[in-house]
Structure 1
Amino acid sequence: MRILHLITHFDLGGAERVAANIAASTTEGMEYHVVEILRGRSDYTTKFVSELRAAGVQCHRSWMPDISWHFLVERIAALLFPLRMLYIMLRLRPDVVHTHTETPDLALYVSVRLMPWLFRHTRIVRTIHNTRLWTGLPRTARWVERMFVKRQSNVAISDSVRDAYAERFGSVPPIIHNGVSEVPQHPWSQLCQGKVNILFAGRLEPQKGVRVLCDVLRMLSADSRFFFTIAGDGSERPLVEQTIAGDENSRPLTNARLVPPIYGLAGCLASFDYLFMPSEFEGLSMLSMEASMNRLPVIANDAPGLRDTLPPDWPLMAHANDTDDYRRIFGRLCDDAFRTRIADRAQQYARANFSIRGMQQRYEEFYARSRH
């Protein structure tokens, strides 16, 4: 069986990581290809492509530059993609086309509408990675989702994603949880010795709770027990920079620093003491699962797609990003025995629920069961 994964770009991202993990399957009789819609161009791209090729996955690079500007470039890429898709389909004749995230979803939708005959004997599978789809694009949502529902293509990655989709579009997709693996750990050289090192890693966008992060930084600005490393970039980076630098009403923070995204982050998660995730919403957070799998406890907001990754009654969970909850949580973090106990609990939960091999097998069963 030949499976073609469509992703936005070969770059750092949860959905891209899921596609790569599925495509790295060693199941006999499965041939995997990964196609990007926009050409990835970060430091991570080369490593990502090399990793896939080493696993025997064929990678198909795009010529369309990856420029984020009000979703305009993504829409142009989606409208132009059918020309490339025609070539790929005639050359590879895949049994399954599996799409991830909105740009590939839209590109595939346009291709199917323009060339329905091309997909007559090809199964379409679509993983829903988020609880919120097509923000600000209601008409596009109606068109695209009608196709996926009619073809019974959808797979949700968590209960929260399934329920959000069912409420909005009236269809209840099956669930296949994302999978992550334990990664050999190596020390991260920039830790602040003698402190409780807390990591925030991800896109500096509203979805990730950046404003709450800044509130907590200010709340703990005088607490010398903690040191925060904020690794990432995005539209709210100036807010983080301003918070750390201080202003006329506050002093510069001495217990926090902003660094670029950490490539290969999974391999150094155990260097930190805690991961801070005040996200407003997630699909099913890969970072949270990777942290738990590698014994890094997560301080989390009780948000859809994030709470699903952690054990029930998780003691480091804040409700609705409540500052008082975070004040209580941070008051417990200097207890080493407590940290060891909850790190063990989180790892056991992740091992039982989020293995990569289990995810691969469930998708491959879905592919085989759905063939025409």
Structure 2
Amino acid sequence: MVKSKIKIYHLITSINLGGAENVAINLVENSPDNFEFVIIELFNTKSSYALSLREDLKNKNIRFKTLFKGSKRLSLLVAPIKLFLLLLKEKPAIIHSHTDLPDFVLASTLKLRKLIGLKQIKIVRTIHNTQLWSTHNRIGKFTESTFIDDCIVGVSEASLEAYIQLRKKYKLPISINKNVIYNGCKIPSKGISDFKIKKEKFNILFCGRFEYQKGIDILIERIKEINSRYKENFEFHIVGNGTYYNEIVSLSKEQNNIQLYNAIPNIANKMHVFDFMIMPSRFEGLVLTSIEASFSKVLVIAAKAPGLSETLPKDWPLNFNLKESSSLLTIFDNIVAKNYNLDEMKEEAFDYAEENFSFDIMLKGYNSIYLK
């Protein structure tokens, strides 16, 4: 007799650029055959990156569904009803929710199910950030009040602590089923790169969303300061899109050492051509990009931020204070002065990533939760 597979829904905001989405897709692509996964997105993103990612999922025969094909805002009204109907039809055993908006939609759906007396479903929630419901307090409380002793996974110690503090703030019980499972990462391959590398300079990569969380506004100012000293020493390659896109375009026109690119699929396999990656984030959950860079032997210049600092060795010399311009400028002074042993630092970061962010350990951690 063939044993039936365990059907699991991965609920994400949208199939697009994002660490939480990458974790969900990695779990779906690499988990054992006794699970049947479906990726459920709240709304459809139509960027070239998103379209490429969808095509990749189709080619790998990974099922995905869109709850609403309109705007993000309207999806929060329509998606709970669509998800409610989908659960009635397909009856998954587990729903694995990633980040705040999927949590809100799931909470609304679960309240509908409870209202008509339907059996509750096993819930797994991964906490991908260290700032939770900081701007929508009432919605956050509505969402969190729905979940009692669900399976909570923090992608870092900092993100799990953020969950604990949020529950205390709302005077809600903290789940007894909580764990930290670090985001795991495979060692990237060295693929063909189309980046416009200037071999006579240090090439520095920023890749991510052009948003406040990622510190892109601070990076704009810091690049101007760095260029006032060392314009001929560094080439900045900025990859992504987002709210600050126009400001980045303006910067690239003002400064002749900036290359601008749209979001690039599978960038982990292409970043090996860079000397450094810069990450000026204000906060993170746990950043896969930083880990991928260390595995690619690209040195990470990182802000001291919750969820980002955990990805790098203790007392990492390329950590800087985001609020102090001199902190980052000192690092660039030291790079130009050749005060760092770059090869030694690459080995240290690689070894740290290999020891702490094993892809197999991440898979085993989640699979054990699904099977409980």
Do the two structures share a fold, i.e. TM-score over 0.5? yes
Match of 2:222 in 1: 216
How many correspondences in the alignment? 355
What aligned pairs does 1:199-214 form with structure 2 within 5 A after superposition? 199-214=205-220
Change in 2 beyond 3 A, CA 1:27/1:256 = same
For the residue of structure 2 that corresponds to 1:174, the secondary structure is: strand
Out of 191, 196, 216, which is 2:197 matched to? 191
CA offset digits 1:273-321 (Å, max 9, x no partner): 1000011111111211111122111000000010011111111001244
Letter aligned with residue 309 of structure 2 = R
How far has the Cα of 1:120 moved from its partner? Answer: 2.1
Query: How many angstroms apart in 2 are the aligned matches of 1:2 and 1:241?
Result: 44
Query: How many angstroms apart in 2 are the aligned matches of 1:119 and 1:51?
Result: 36
Contact 1:131 1:304 in 2 (8 A): yes
For the residue of structure 1 that corresponds to 2:101, the secondary structure is: helix
Query: How many angstroms apart in 2 are the aligned matches of 1:164 and 1:320?
Result: 21
What aligned pairs does 1:205-284 form with structure 2 within 5 A after superposition? 205-222=211-228, 223=230, 224-245=232-253, 252-284=254-286
How far has the Cα of 1:83 moved from its partner? Answer: 3.0
Contact 2:111 2:146 in 1 (8 A): no
Contact 1:24 1:56 in 2 (8 A): no
Query: How many angstroms apart in 2 are the aligned matches of 1:119 and 1:42?
Result: 38
What aligned pairs does 1:137-156 form with structure 2 within 5 A after superposition? 137-148=136-147, 150-156=148-154
For the residue of structure 2 that corresponds to 1:34, the secondary structure is: strand
TM-score in terms of structure 2 length: 0.89
How far has the Cα of 1:367 moved from its partner? Answer: 1.7
Query: How many angstroms apart in 1 are the aligned matches of 2:120 and 2:167?
Result: 26
Moved more, 164-173 or 154-163: 164-173
For the residue of structure 1 that corresponds to 2:166, the secondary structure is: helix
Change in 2 beyond 3 A, CA 1:243/1:47 = closer
Match of 2:3 in 1: none
Q: Give the alignment's Cα RMSD to 1 decimal.
A: 2.1
Query: How many angstroms apart in 2 are the aligned matches of 1:96 and 1:9?
Result: 19
Contact 1:3 1:30 in 2 (8 A): yes
Letter aligned with residue 218 of structure 1 = K
Letter aligned with residue 365 of structure 2 = R
Out of 352, 355, 358, which is 2:358 matched to? 355
For the residue of structure 1 that corresponds to 2:78, the secondary structure is: helix
Moved more, 287-296 or 326-335: 326-335
Match of 1:104 in 2: 102
Match of 1:307 in 2: 309
Contact 1:295 1:344 in 2 (8 A): yes
TM-score in terms of structure 1 length: 0.89
Percent pairwise identity = 30
Letter aligned with residue 230 of structure 1 = I
Query: How many angstroms apart in 2 are the aligned matches of 1:207 and 1:200?
Result: 14
Q: Which has the higher strand share?
A: 2
Query: How many angstroms apart in 1 are the aligned matches of 2:118 and 2:273?
Result: 48
What aligned pairs does 1:1-372 form with structure 2 within 5 A after superposition? 1-65=6-70, 67=71, 73-74=72-73, 76-116=74-114, 120-148=119-147, 150-170=148-168, 171=174, 173-189=178-194, 190-222=196-228, 223=230, 224-245=232-253, 252-334=254-336, 335=338, 338-369=341-372
Gaps of 5+ in 2: 1-5, 169-173
Contact 2:226 2:332 in 1 (8 A): no
For the residue of structure 2 that corresponds to 1:292, the secondary structure is: helix
Query: How many angstroms apart in 2 are the aligned matches of 1:83 and 1:16?
Result: 22
Query: How many angstroms apart in 2 are the aligned matches of 1:285 and 1:105?
Result: 20
